[in-house]
């Protein structure tokens, strides 16, 4: 999400930085470009106007032009304005994730148009509540419109390892909702997720049904699911649901396919409802919390280190990582370790996804994708190391021409590739040695103080 906007804005700021001292005209020109970039990203016009006006006012107020690093100041001001547009900043930070502070079973109502990803998201939420929050979750489909809808949810529940309400043919949505809450109370569930029926477009029948279910079930969270790819339509849908039904939060799906991100930037201001979660893929674990400050960082190429570290903490095998770190400290890092490191990186998802979260690297992402580097490199390197003997992995220095030819043939690649890997490994080892030295010096200083 936001790739296009991110690269445009970074272009604007790079030009500003190259100028050093800024005139008022430079800032005005930059703001004009920011405005165009936001509009191209499909951000709603009133939101764009507001954001640019805010930035202009603050840039003047802070005497950016006379400051030491004017371009950096402008970036900071734009960053803050984006955080605010996304619903963050200010005195009450935007809530992220779900609010479950209510007596059990906490009802969560899922609403939205057909195809928005409502049922998929219900499954994702159930899985997350079960795994992360240790909650006992019951999933119930109130969709009597689509014949297979209730079965689809039951299947998703099974995949997630949570319960689903037994299907009773012929019941109305209100009856199913009542039965779900009843089962939820009797069988001591913590959370009951009620997945309502969608329609192809907003119509009174849909809104009436959803409003009736809401009035009866009195959900603690009413989550509207919208498809980010539909841009401004998603925002209009959200406004309609907000006015007619009232929602407590928005889940934006398909952000994995949405390069523009306009809907996310417009949503808060136009609908007043906070985005709480993002759906970033079809798999059940592809659900992310929505943090305005981190997202702004991603847009402005300042990286999203916090999310990266969280993702790492979830996927990386701690024991293995500690063993590796100990080896690194002793300067005993070999190709065996490199291979296991590659495996860990592979587990964290696509390389370009990881790089997108690193500061300053966001812009490289497209080049990496274009060069088709991504995970194929990881796999190739793993294959090359796989066709080495254990001795070669532990003492790569012995790998000379004939061994290289054998290894390349074994991995189905060229000697150049083997050379490239060995060079990369050498560079890494050298860097680790330098880091170790620095660390030791630091420790000595600490000891003397």
What CA–CA distance (Å, rounded) separates 149 from 169? 12
Q: What is the dihedral of CA 35, 38, 42, 43, to 10 degrees?
A: -90
β-pair partners for 277 = 251, 289
Q: How far is the CB of 123 from ligand GDP (least distance, A)?
A: 8
Mark residues 209-248: x for contact with ligand GDP by CB under 6 A, - for none: ----------------------------------------
Residue 119 assigned ligand-binding role: yes
Q: Footprint of ligand GDP on residues 327-386 (CB under 6 A)?
A: none
Q: Footprint of ligand GDP on residues 267-296 (CB under 6 A)?
A: 279-282, 286
β-pair partners for 191 = 106, 137
Q: Which of 224, 399 has the CB closer to ligand GDP?
A: 224
Question: Quick check: 173 binds ligand GDP (CB under 6 A)?
Answer: no
β-pair partners for 109 = 194, 222
Instruction: Give Cβ neighbours of residue 219 (< 8 Å, ≥ 6 apart).
Output: 107, 108, 109, 194
Residue 114 assigned ligand-binding role: yes
Sequence-distant contacts of 87-95: CB under 8 A, at least 24 apart: 87/267, 87/268, 87/274, 87/275, 87/292, 88/291, 88/292, 88/293, 88/296, 89/292, 89/293, 94/268, 94/274, 94/275, 94/290, 94/291, 94/292, 95/249, 95/274, 95/276
Which pair of structure tokens corresponds to residue 126? 């159930």
| Runs of H (alpha helix) within 301-389 | 305-315, 318-329, 335-347, 351-356, 364-370, 374-386
Q: How far is the CB of 354 from ligand GDP (least distance, A)?
A: 18
Which pair of structure tokens corresponds to residue 306? 């916090």
Which pair of structure tokens corresponds to residue 426? 């050498």
β-pair partners for 288 = 278
Q: How far is the CB of 200 from ligand GDP (least distance, A)?
A: 10
Q: How far is the CB of 201 from ligand GDP (least distance, A)?
A: 13
Q: How far is the CB of 115 from ligand GDP (least distance, A)?
A: 5
Residue 254 assigned ligand-binding role: yes
- The string of DSSP codes covering 351-363 is HHHHHHTSTTTTT
Residue 117 assigned ligand-binding role: yes
Residue 112 assigned ligand-binding role: yes
Question: How are beta strands 275-279 and 287-289 bridged, if at all?
Answer: antiparallel
Residue 289 assigned ligand-binding role: no
Task: Among 73, 119, 230, 429, indicate the residue that binds ligand GDP (CB under 6 A).
Answer: 119
Q: Which of 254, 365 has the CB closer to ligand GDP?
A: 254
Q: Which of 152, 329 has the CB closer to ligand GDP?
A: 152
Q: How many residues bind ligand GDP (CB under 6 A)?
A: 18
CA dist list (Å): 402 to 383, 418, 419: 18, 12, 12
Whether the link from the prior residue into 105 is cis, omega within 30° of 0, is yes
Residue 28 assigned ligand-binding role: no
Residue 198 assigned ligand-binding role: yes
Q: Footprint of ligand GDP on residues 186-205 (CB under 6 A)?
A: 198
Residue 197 assigned ligand-binding role: yes
Task: Among 135, 214, 254, 311, indicate the residue that binds ligand GDP (CB under 6 A).
Answer: 254
Sign of the torsion angle spanned by Cα atoms 440, 442, 443, 445: positive
Task: Among 114, 315, 329, 375, indicate the residue that binds ligand GDP (CB under 6 A).
Answer: 114
Mapped onto helix, strand or coil, the DSSP state of residue 370 is helix
Site stretch for ligand GDP (CB under 6 A), options 115-123, 304-312, 342-350, 409-417: 115-123
Q: How far is the CB of 307 from ligand GDP (least distance, A)?
A: 16
Sign of the torsion angle spanned by Cα atoms 202, 208, 211, 217: negative
What CA–CA distance (Å, rounded) separates 99 from 101? 6
CA dist list (Å): 30 to 9, 33, 70, 314: 9, 5, 12, 40
Q: How far is the CB of 255 from ligand GDP (least distance, A)?
A: 7
Q: Which of 118, 381 has the CB closer to ligand GDP?
A: 118
Q: How far is the CB of 286 from ligand GDP (least distance, A)?
A: 6
Task: Among 10, 73, 116, 341, indicate the residue that binds ligand GDP (CB under 6 A).
Answer: 116
Q: Which of 22, 206 has the CB closer to ligand GDP?
A: 206
Task: Among 6, 120, 150, 236, indicate the residue that binds ligand GDP (CB under 6 A).
Answer: 120
Q: Which of 254, 268 has the CB closer to ligand GDP?
A: 254
What CA–CA distance (Å, rounded) separates 122 from 124? 5
Q: Which of 257, 272 has the CB closer to ligand GDP?
A: 257
Site stretch for ligand GDP (CB under 6 A), options 108-116, 297-305, 340-348, 413-421: 108-116
Residue 144 assigned ligand-binding role: no
Residue stretches of the annotated binding site for GTP: 112-119, 195-199, 253-256
Residue stretches of the annotated binding site: 112-119, 195-199, 253-256
Q: Which residues bind ligand GDP (CB under 6 A)?
A: 112, 114-120, 198, 253-254, 256-257, 279-282, 286
């Amino acid at each position: 999400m936001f790739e296009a906007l991110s690269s445009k804005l970074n272009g604007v700021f790079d030009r500003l930085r190259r100028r050093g001292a800024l005139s008022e005209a430079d800032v005005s020109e930059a703001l004009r470009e920011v405005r165009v970039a936001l509009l191209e990203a499909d951000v709603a016009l009133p939101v764009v106007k507001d954001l640019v006006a805010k930035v202009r006012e603050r840039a003047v107020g802070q005497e950016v032009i006379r400051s030491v690093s004017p371009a950096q100041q402008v970036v900071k001001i734009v960053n803050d304005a984006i955080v605010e547009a996304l619903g963050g900043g200010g005195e009450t930070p935007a809530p992220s994730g779900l609010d479950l502070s209510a007596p059990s079973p906490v009802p969560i109502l899922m609403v939205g148009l057909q195809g928005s990803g409502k049922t998929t998201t219900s499954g994702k939420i159930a899985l997350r509540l079960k795994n992360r929050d240790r909650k006992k979750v019951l999933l119930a489909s109130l969709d009597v419109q689509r014949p297979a809808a209730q079965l689809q949810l039951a299947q998703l529940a099974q995949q997630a390892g949570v319960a689903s309400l037994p299907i009773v043919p012929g019941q109305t949505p209100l009856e199913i909702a009542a039965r779900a809450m009843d089962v939820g109370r009797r069988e001591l569930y913590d959370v009951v997720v009620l997945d309502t029926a969608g329609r192809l477009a907003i119509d009174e029948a849909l809104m009436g049904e959803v409003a009736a279910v809401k009035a009866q079930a009195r959900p603690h969270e009413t989550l509207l699911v919208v498809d980010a790819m539909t841009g401004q339509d998603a925002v209009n849908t959200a406004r309609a649901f907000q006015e007619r039904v009232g929602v407590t939060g928005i889940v934006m799906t398909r952000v994995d396919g949405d390069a523009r991100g306009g809907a996310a930037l417009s949503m808060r201001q136009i609908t007043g409802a906070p985005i709480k979660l993002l759906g970033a893929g079809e798999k059940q674990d592809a659900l992310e919390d929505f943090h305005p400050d981190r997202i702004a960082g991603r847009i402005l190429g300042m990286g999203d280190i916090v999310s990266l570290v969280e993702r790492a903490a979830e996927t990386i095998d701690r024991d293995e990582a500690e063993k590796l770190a100990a080896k690194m400290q002793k300067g005993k890092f070999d190709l065996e370790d490199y291979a296991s490191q590659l495996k860990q990186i592979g587990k964290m998802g696509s390389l370009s996804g990881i790089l997108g979260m690193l500061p300053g690297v966001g812009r490289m992402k497209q080049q990496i994708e274009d060069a088709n580097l991504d995970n194929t490199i990881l796999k190739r390197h793993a294959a090359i190391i796989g066709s080495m003997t254990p001795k070669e992995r532990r003492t790569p220095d012995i790998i000379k021409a004939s061994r290289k030819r054998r290894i390349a043939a074994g991995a189905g690649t060229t000697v150049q590739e083997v050379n490239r890997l060995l060079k990369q490994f050498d560079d890494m080892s050298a860097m680790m040695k330098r880091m170790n030295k620095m660390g030791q010096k630091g420790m000595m200083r600490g000891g003397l103080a």
